[in-house]
Amino acid sequence: MSEPAQTGLLSNINKPVAAMVLVGILPFCFILIRLLPSSEGRLGVSIVVLVLLSALVLWKVPLKKFWLPLICVLPMYYAACLGFADMGFFEARAALSKFGTKLSPTIEYWLGTDYEGRDILATMVIGGKHAYLVALYSSFTALLLGIPIGLFLTSENIISKNLSFWITQFFEIIPQLFFILIVMGVYNFWAAQDAQARLTASYSLPIAGIAIGLSSLPSIARILENRVRQLKVERFVPAFYSTNVNSYKVLLYNILWKNSITEIVVQTTFLFGSALLLESALGFAYEIGFGDLGTGGYLSWGKLLAESRRSILFGENVMIVIPPILATLMSIFGINLLGDKLAQHLRTEN
């Protein structure tokens, strides 16, 4: 008696999933490039790594299905990865104070400068680095907590089942953005020593990511709960139990790993895109003065959009509004489309 067709999952999805995993851990690899002594060396190594990664993606991923999401996502993601490799260079470019001297694009400033004289391209790279880092934090948090909670929801132990049920219900009921703002507000109130320190990247990035991940865990838990309940009635599960196979092995290996990883990977992709949108919303809310939290904050695409809102209001230098809007829309659209195409690919293969 055999398991469902998804038993061959690893052989079916190894190429696209391997490429996604490699792309996902790329920022952590780029952090190692910081050990190089010169900016020229860091830039050269970064370019080589990105070229090799592009070649690997082109080799592993069926472009006929994934060309559009890759075109939308990879440029933004690669730019964000450069921020991990040489943050000091981009921070220096974003800290220039030449007010109003070079708003239009030039050879030196490819996207021009904003009202504060900062290089828009450098601010976009830093904002992308922060956005994708928050999305990574939130995805890991949702997976780390959502998977065990989803398994406990199907448990026969009443205590663990009820506890998991109420945790899931809590995050399903409370508005997501409201919860994130409360968590960050409480943390910044207790952790910061003064107003300038409240919304620095070292405080806000991990907290924002964890808060978004916590509020997103029901989507992982519910999908896994439904999948486990569906598989438990399949014939191969009673067959394993009848042969005295350890029940934890059946649950964690045969059900979770071999037959549920598809849904988890696809849902994580959608959560990543949702986290990017929420991170931009947070940056925008802080910049326009959301209560006591509107004291500044780390650079993000939402913050850059809020800073350039005068261009929309007064119709001047509208070009500086386009980069943060375009980067946010392309990233979210591309990642959601990537999840949709991945789901279609896996269903076709299986």
And the tokens for 283? 């940056």
Q: What is the pLDDT of residues 274-305, one digit of tens each?
A: 999 888 888 887 776 554 444 445 778 888 88
Q: What is the pLDDT of residues 62-80, one digit of tens each?
A: 777 778 888 888 888 878 7
Q: Which of the residue ranges 94-98, 192-196, 290-294 has the most confident prediction, judged by mean pLDDT? A: 94-98
Residue 221 confidence (pLDDT): 94
Q: Which of the residue ranges 102-116, 129-143, 288-302 has the most confident prediction, judged by mean pLDDT? A: 129-143
Residue 152 confidence (pLDDT): 93
Model's pTM, two decimal places? 0.82
Residue 203 confidence (pLDDT): 63
Does the pLDDT value for residue 45 go beyond 90?
Answer: no
Give the pLDDT band (50/70/90) at residue 142. Answer: very high
What is the average per-residue pLDDT within 157-167?
93
Does the pLDDT value for residue 162 go beyond 90?
Answer: yes
Percent of the chain with pLDDT over 90: 15
- Helix/strand/coil (H/E/C) assignment for every residue in the chain: CCCCHHHHHHHHHHHHHHHHHHHHHHHHHHHHHCCCCCHHHHHHHHHHHHHHHHHHHHHHCCHHHHHHHHHHHHHHHHHHHHHHHCHHHHHHHHCCCCCCCCCCCCCCCCCCECCCCCEHHHHHHHHHHHHHHHHHHHHHHHHHHHHHHHHHCCCCCHHHHHHHHHHHHHHHHCCHHHHHHHHHHHHHHHHCCCHHHCCCHHHHHHHHHHHHHHHHHHHHHHHHHHHHHHHHCCCHHHHHHHCCCCHHHHHHHHHHHHHHHHHHHHHHHHHHHHHHHHHHHHHHHHHCCCHHHCCCCCCCHHHHHHHCHHHHHHCCCHHHCHHHHHHHHHHHHHHHHHHHHHHHHHHHHC
Give the pLDDT band (50/70/90) at residue 236. Answer: confident
What is the average pLDDT score of the chain? 78
Residue 171 confidence (pLDDT): 94
Q: Which of 23-27, 160-164, 322-326 bottoms out in mean pLDDT, i.e. has the lowest?
A: 23-27
Does the pLDDT value for residue 163 go beyond 90?
Answer: yes
Residue 148 confidence (pLDDT): 94
Q: Which of the residue ranges 138-142, 184-188, 199-203 has the most confident prediction, judged by mean pLDDT? A: 138-142
Q: Which of 11-25, 198-212, 304-318 bottoms out in mean pLDDT, i.e. has the lowest?
A: 11-25
Residue 295 confidence (pLDDT): 44
The answer to whether the CB of 298 falls within 8 A of the CB of 239 is: no
Residue 8 confidence (pLDDT): 41
Q: What is the H or E stretch that residue 223 is in?
A: helix 201-232
- Please give the residue range of the domain that contains residue 61: 5-349
**Residue 16: count of CB within 10 angstroms of its CB:** 22
Percent of the chain with pLDDT over 70: 76
- Gap between the Cα atoms of 87 and 80, Å rounded: 10
Helix 120-152 vs helix 201-232: crossing angle, to nearest 10:
40
Q: Which of the residue ranges 9-23, 83-97, 108-122, 319-333 has the most confident prediction, judged by mean pLDDT? A: 319-333
What is the average per-residue pLDDT within 259-264?
83
Say which CATH number the domain at 268 has: 1.10.3720.10
5: DSSP letter: G
Does the pLDDT value for residue 260 go beyond 90?
Answer: no
Residue 12 confidence (pLDDT): 41
What is the average per-residue pLDDT within 317-338?
85
- For the chain, the domain total comes to 1
Does the pLDDT value for residue 100 go beyond 60?
Answer: no
